[in-house]
Structure 1
Amino acid sequence: MKNSVTRAMTCGRCSHARNSWNWPARKDAGPSPRCLTAAKGLCRLLAAGCLGLSLAFPAYADNWQAPLVDEGLPSHLVAVDKHRQSFLFFERKSPLRLKYTFPCTTGQVPGDKQVINDKRTPEGIYFVEYKIASGLDFAEYGGVAYTLNYPNPVDRLRGKTGHGIWIHSKGFGIFPRDTRGCVAIGLQDIDTVGPSLVPGTAVVLAHAVDENNVPQRDDGTARYLRHRMQQWSDAWAARSEKMFDFYDGAAYSKATEDFGRFRQNKQRLFKMLSFIKIINRDIHVLQGPGYWVTWSEQFYTASNLSTEGVRRLYWQKDDKGEFRIVGMEWTPRDMGMLAEFKQGKLIAQALPVMSDGSEGPSRPALDMPESAADEKAAATAAGGEQERLLAADALVPRNQPTQITGEINWGGGSALDTLRPDERELSLTGSDEAPAVETPQQAAAPAETTPETLAADEARGPEVAPTPAAPEAATPPPPPALELTPSLREELAARASAWLSAFAERDTRAEALESGYYDAKRFNKTAGLPRGLSLGQERRERQRLLRSPWLRVYPGAQEWSVDGQTALCRLPVLFVGQRGIEEGLRELWWQRGEDGVFRLVASRWTPGEHGLSMVYLETASGEASAMLERWRAAWEKADLDAYMECYTPDALQQGRRGARFLRQQKQNLWQRVTPTLVQLSGMRFSLDKKGLRADMMQNYADSKGMSDRGTKTLLLEYDGTSWRIAREDWAAEPPAR
């Protein structure tokens, strides 16, 4: 108690404070008014705590004591002791050793962060995301900050909110518990440790960290989880259903993304890809408060793409005590793994044997691609003239569970206003609006008399009473109900596929399409079926959609059911046009006509996500990557005509808009100096409202010896025949420190 009070009351005017807090030293005696106020408040709170009064700090967390075990530790990591206000930097030098110890300051309110603006510093395992070196208030942040990935998936699972937790400095010295939730250290200290805070650095934020008792001996859990991550990778590479057994579906849906959609996307890709190969390099593990994190540098190559980055898995025990994945994060990064893979030098880390002498949990017998043909296909996918380093990685989770994943997030809302839900379609008015379905009572009621009906009656002449039927003549029995036999399913599937093909082929001949696939007499008039658009409205909606200069259609699997004489097809469909993307479920009701041919009697469209965007991304990214390779080669050869063919007429490049100005600028430049190296790596595709976005690392050198490296971002648009660059942005990487 005495030491705590003394420490709190000291300030920059005493030697102890100068050594501990980096406060500015002053020769005049006496503590500053700010320190006196803080000390008095702290003394009152400490005294109240000793007396057991309610003024003691509330327990928002279990005062987590961070354990660091001797298994799977990274090469360096940060640990923050919030209780002692200490910033510790460790590096692994057989074993882990403490390299730096700095005083720090954390949130103004003690305890684990729970909600936004509660002024608490979170407790758990976090990772440095990136460095902010400009645009910061010097007094508040000291001019530089390193962002952390709070909230992590487990934080989201626990309902925690807030953001913007950083490691930074203060322009005019640090004071105890003086941030709104961040971790701050001195100006000289952040200059010392800053170069080591590279993206991906692990940061342990805890109530207490005992640096004299690290690393502790692993009880087997850390080693087991490292093997579990490798087994998960093996199942993924084998395109095996066993991969999904590693997840806690309910928790994953809340923490990361909808697990059902995630599983459907993966299953679809497993069927599409001929092989997948995954190499993990250096699997690390750390224990958080109530969860564990494993992560590794990961190289992924498949029959359609290759990519590399850092994969993180968050593990918790389920009701049966089994560790399951509840969260996942992916950070694409160029780590040279592609180059090593091409040279045959990239190998997975050899995990240590388990305590019982085995190699860990036995791997399932999975169909890993090891044949020479698969190796050749992997090399083709990862390099050579047709190199495609893409990141249409279906395992990359979304930032928000309610959105489509980072890789597939093209903005909110649909841009295809021609495809509207039934609720909007029914608000249309017109002479051919769909009539309501008749009830038996309405069918029995007499028809309304109008001038038109009178004229029709007069034309028909006087009614003649029908001849009574012979007593022995029985009403013909209704046809037997449909039975979904394999032959009937095949017949129906062929009709539905032909209808969709006619639509996708932009057949604007409404009469031909309708006479072949629609029952004009019964469409939208069949009792018991949902009311949708009338035939005229259906025709107009189709014609509006087909006015797009180009249209691409991606159908999902057909799902069939029968009810009496009606067959229902549920068909997920993704439409891609010049105005954007629309995905939803098309329901088609079919009945046999008098000629025995199935025709449509009702149709309904319901917008929604069905995982088809991943199928489109796989196709589009392959097409776009081929174009970008032509663009890169033309740039490197200074082939102006081939280079300009890759741009749209109104392309924007570094502030210049229009192909004419881009051509003139490159022509003037290449007359003085020509490129000698244009190298692209870590290419990553995602869907955009108007097409695709491609992010990549770019290395450039020219004939005068100049070179640079940085991030290139391209927005690509499809013109109906090929992909072209609509916008080009460049951010140079700062020089190494």
Structure 2
Amino acid sequence: MTRTLHWGKLAVSLLALLLLAPSAQPRMSVTPLYQQHPLLDPVGKATDGSPERMIVAAIDAIRAGRMGDARATVDALIAKEPNYRLAWLLSADLYAMRSIPLDNIGGGVAHAPADRLDDLRREALARLKRQDNPPPASQVPAEVLAFSKNQKFAIVVDASASRLFLFENNNGVPRYVSDSYVTVGKLGTEKLREGDQRTPLGVYFVYNHMTRPQLDKTFGAQADLYGVGAWPISYPNEMDRREGRTGHGIWLHGSPSDTYARPPQASNGCVVLTNPDMLQLADHLQIGATPVVIVPQMHWLSLPQWQQRRDQMQTLVENWRNAWQKLDTQAYLNQYSKDFTSDSGQNLTRWAQQKSSVNVSKQWARIDVTDMSLFVGGKDDTLVATFDQDYRSNNLENRMRKRLYWRNDGGNYKIVWEGTASNG
């Protein structure tokens, strides 16, 4: 009995120290996670596997009244990941349940900061939801429609679910590889300005890798915030700059050494993974190529639905190309939104004047579009088409990597931005 009390006090003491970290966000009400008040079972078997599998199994065991299994699993998890705050919280609850019934995670920690407890409950809920709603085996993401030839993988971040999904280019079709729990901005998504502590929504590309030694040299003691390393993504992208969004330094990165996982909303805008998950993901990242599509909520489609959506978006680009090649100025300009802006700052009126003037001098034109990628991201299903453009006419030849942003405009997709693609 003395040993039991000793370890119980130790668990509560260690948890109290972990909970003294800075608050991630304002307190909110959280749905209770313990829905039974079972008696302690002194004998149990630990669930093995990933930390996420183990933490979910422990919560399920508590709900089912298998307290011995829960205790064994939590103890094994703490041995594997000694800085996992949620595991320590469950440990404290399990000891408290020897004396009193609990109806929620954290009920066994008296006087703990309420906002810290809410953060850990949100993490538990996010992980439980993943267990209840696993990626559908026979479906593909609506956000990934076409890969360029050098893109081996694509990432989709579902901000509402606190999940990052990795997909492989399987002969042009996205194939699910893995998914991981992630943290996003303290104040959620839809980043608008520098320092607003929000994660941007849209289509971005990994463009650099900052190793831990590089981070140490640059940031000193603050480098530990980024864990095993950082992979910057291309925020602000062309659409962000067009719409006046500011800020910089949005990265995929790991977690500090004193905690296994951060709460669902705790970063200054970056997408944060556990260090083990970040290292696994890093093996699939291609600098300058891997897309990171961040959406409020991702959508899954059957393969026929996905093919129909892909064909629809490819047709948009083909109609634009065909009208331009035919020197059909009106049909070409009909592809553009009244809110259009070019990379040189031209609005639709100036763009139309220039294209009309240029086409007068053309006897013929040929435009080839090859190696195209298509991704849909943001809160308004913006289509981002990137491709190699080979333009030839009777008096001009030009080759470039081109990008078009298409936005739903009254039921029809229209081009809102056009210019050179710097990555992807």
- TM-score w.r.t. structure 1 length? 0.35
Deviation, 1:323, is: 1.9
2-structure distance, mates of 1:314, 1:14 = 51
CA–CA distance in 1 between the matches of 2:347 and 2:209?
A: 31
| Secondary structure, aligned partner of 1:121 | coil
Deviates more, 1:297-306 or 1:223-232: 297-306
For the 8 Å contact 2:78–2:88, the answer to whether it is kept is no
Amino acid corresponding to residue 305 of structure 2 in structure 1: R
Letter of the 1:102 counterpart? S
Contact 2:391 2:397 in 1 (8 A): yes
Residues in 2 aligned to 1:45 and 1:294: alpha-carbon distance in whole angstroms: 33
Q: Which amino acid aligns with 1:197?
A: L
Larger Rg: 1 or 2? Answer: 1
Match of 1:78 in 2: 155
* Alignment CA distance shift 1:238-1:83 (3 Å): same
Higher-helix-fraction structure: 2
Give the aligned residue type for 2:262: F
Distance of 2:251 and 2:274 partners within structure 1: 14
Contact 2:382/2:408, CA 8 A, preserved across alignment: no
Task: Give secondary structure in 2 for the equivalent of 1:112.
Answer: coil
Kindly report the root-mean-square deviation, in angstroms, between the aligned alpha carbons of the 2 structures: 4.6
Once the two structures are TM-superposed, the CA of residue 183 in structure 1 deviates from its matched residue by 0.4
CA distance in 2, matches of 1:84, 1:22: 23
Pick one of 338, 344, 350 that aligns with 1:249.
338
Q: For residues 262 and 3 of structure 1, do their structure 2 counterparts lie closer, same or farther at Cα, with a shift above 3 Å needed?
A: farther
What is the distance in 2 between the residues matched to 1:258 and 1:306? 22
Deviation at 1:70, TM superposition (A): 9.3
Does residue 330 (structure 1) correspond to residue 420 (structure 2)? The answer is yes
Distance in 2, matches of 1:261 and 1:301, equals 21
Alignment TM-score, normalising by the size of structure 2: 0.57
- Asked if residue 314 in structure 1 is aligned to residue 387 in structure 2, the reply is no
Of the three residues 265, 268, 271, the one matched with 1:180 is 268
Letter in 2 for 1:2: P
Q: Deviations over 1:395-454 (max 9, x none)?
A: xxxxxxxxxxxxxxxxxxxxxxxxxxxxxxxxxxxxxxxxxxxxxxxxxxxxxxxxxxxx
Contact 1:80 1:88 in 2 (8 A): yes
Aligned to 2:186: 108
SS in 2 for 1:72: strand
What letter corresponds to residue 251 of structure 2 in structure 1? W
Deviation at 1:248, TM superposition (A): 0.8
Q: Write out aligned runs for 1:169-248 (5 A).
A: 169-172=254-257, 173-176=260-263, 177-198=265-286, 199-209=288-298, 217-218=305-306, 220-241=308-329, 242-248=331-337
Instruction: Answer yes or no: is the 8 Å Cα contact 1:18–1:25 preserved in 2.
Output: no
Show the counterpart of 1:575: none
Deviation at 1:265, TM superposition (A): 4.1
Q: State the match for 2:251 in structure 1.
A: 166
- 1:235/1:131 Cα in 2 relative to 1: closer, same or farther (>3 Å)? farther
Opposite residue 382 of structure 2, the aligned amino acid is W
Q: Which amino acid aligns with 1:168?
A: H
Question: Shift in Å at residue 215 of structure 1?
Answer: 5.5
Deviation at 1:139, TM superposition (A): 1.2
Deviation for aligned residue 1:229:
0.4
Note if contact 2:143-2:293 (Cα within 8 Å) is conserved in structure 1.
Answer: no
Could you tell me how far apart the structure 1 residues matched to 2:115 and 2:185 are? Answer: 14
Post-superposition offset of 1:186: 3.0
Given that residues 403 and 419 in structure 2 are in contact (C-alpha distance below 8 angstroms), is that contact kept between their aligned partners in structure 1? yes
Residue 226 of structure 1 and its aligned partner are, at CA, apart by 0.8
Matched AA of 1:89: L
What is the CA-CA distance between 1:96 and the residue it aligns to?
3.1
Deviations 1:161-192 (A, max 9, x none): 43332212234244112210110123343333
Partner of 1:280 in structure 2?
369
Report the Cα distance in structure 1 between the residues aligned to 2:82 and 2:366, rounded to whole angstroms.
51
Distance change (3 Å), C-alpha of 1:312 and 1:22: farther
CA distance in 1: counterparts of 2:356 and 2:82, whole angstroms: 55
The amino acid that maps onto 1:331 is A
SS in 2 for 1:250: strand
Q: Are 1:2 and 2:93 matched, yes or no?
A: no
**Contact 2:144 2:376 (8 Å CA) reproduced:** no
1:18–1:104: structure 2 CA closer, same or farther, 3 Å change rule? farther
SS in 2 for 1:290: coil
8 Å Cα contact 1:69/1:214 also seen in 2? no
Once the two structures are superposed, what CA deviation does each residue of 1:333-352 show, in whole Å capped at 9, x if it has no partner? 7x9xxxxxxxxxxxxxxxxx
What SS does structure 2 have at the residue aligned with 1:208?
Answer: coil
- Native 8 Å contact 1:109 1:119 kept in 2: yes
Where relative contact order (Cα < 8 A, 6+ residues apart) is larger, the structure is: 2
What does 1:208-607 align with in structure 2 at a 5 Å threshold?
A: 208-209=297-298, 217-218=305-306, 220-241=308-329, 242-252=331-341, 257-270=346-359, 276-288=365-377, 289-302=379-392, 303-309=395-401, 311-319=402-410, 321-331=411-421
Residue by residue over 1:597-625, the C-alpha shift from the partner in whole angstroms, topping out at 9 and shown as x without a partner, is xxxxxxxxxxxxxxxxxxxxxxxxxxxxx
What residue ranges of structure 1 are gaps of 5+ in the alignment?
47-66, 336-737
| Matched residue type, 1:315 | W
The separation in 1 between residues aligned to 2:382 and 2:313, in whole angstroms, is 8
CA contact (8 A) 2:386 2:404 kept: no
1:79/1:206 contact within 8 Å kept:
yes
Over 3 Å counting, the alpha-carbon distance change for 1:90 and 1:21 in structure 2 is farther
Q: Unpaired runs of 5+ in structure 2?
A: 1-30, 36-54, 60-73, 93-105, 124-139
Distance 1:217 1:280, change over 3 A: same
Contact 2:233 2:250 in 1 (8 A): yes
Tell me what 2:50 maps to: none
Corresponding position of 2:24: none
- Matches of 2:414 and 2:122, distance apart in 1: 42
Q: For 2:314 and 2:293, how far apart are their aligned partners in 1?
A: 19
Give distance in 2, aligned partners of 1:183 and 1:278. 39
**Structure 1 residues 208 and 245: alpha-carbon distance in aligned structure 2, compared to 1, 3 A threshold:** closer
Query: Of the candidates 71, 80, 87, which is equivalent to residue 164 of structure 2?
Result: 87
| SS of equivalent to 1:170 | coil
Deviation at 1:326, TM superposition (A): 1.0
Query: Which amino acid letter does the alignment assign opposite residue 317 of structure 1?
Result: N
